[in-house]
Amino acid sequence: MTPRLVDDAASRAARSAGIGQPSPPHRGRLAQLVDWVGRRPALRLVGLHPMIARPGYWAASGIALIWGSVLGGFHVRRRGGVVVCAGLPRWAFGRGGTTIGAVYLTHANTSPAVLAHESVHRAQWRRYGVAFIPLYLAAGRDARQNRFEIEAGLDLGGYR
């Protein structure tokens, strides 16, 4: 990979996350911090560089796989583009299910539509690595306004 291609990959990732775009004044401190980092090309390049983002994605996937398989009684399957850990107690994930890295944690919310939605979240994790956590939180608590939920499909995710 040439440095030019690397720059392009990080820049594309930053643009698609809306990094570096000014946020409306009502947004929180986290959104402001994300914007501040986004306006610094060197920080952005390092944080979203595939060589940083990808190991973060792998580490998050590994931790989630341990969490999900132990708490879910090892009901682990590859389905719909994600690794599904089902059977978890409801306190062990958010909403109807949560994707961390490549791993989708849920009790029993595994319809094909939901898995299609979660596979987009997996791709987002792969693109941003652990930076996806602050980026997602900064994008807002309301799923219908959160750009990552919109990209994953609000209908598929059961948000409308």
- Binding residues (CB under 5 A) for Zn ion: these are 149, 152, 157
Closest CB to Zn ion among residues 69, 119: 119
**Closer residue to Zn ion (CB): 44 or 93:** 93
| Minimum CB–partner distance for residue 66 and Zn ion (Å) | 22
The residue nearest Zn ion at its CB is: 157
Residue with Cβ nearer Zn ion (37 or 119): 119
- Residue (49 or 151) nearer to Zn ion, CB: 151
Map tokens 């595939």 to a residue.
50
Contact 89, 107 (CB under 8 A): yes
Helix, strand, or coil (residue 25): coil
- Nearest distance from residue 121's CB to Zn ion, in Å? 5
β-partners of residue 103 are 83, 100
Shortest CB 62 distance to Zn ion, Å: 21
Neighbours of 61 (CB within 10 A): 20
Tokens of 65: 């796989």
What is the DSSP pairing of strand 103-106 with strand 97-100? antiparallel
Cα 88–91–94 angle (5° rounding)? 90
Closest approach, Cβ 11 to Zn ion, in A, equals 25
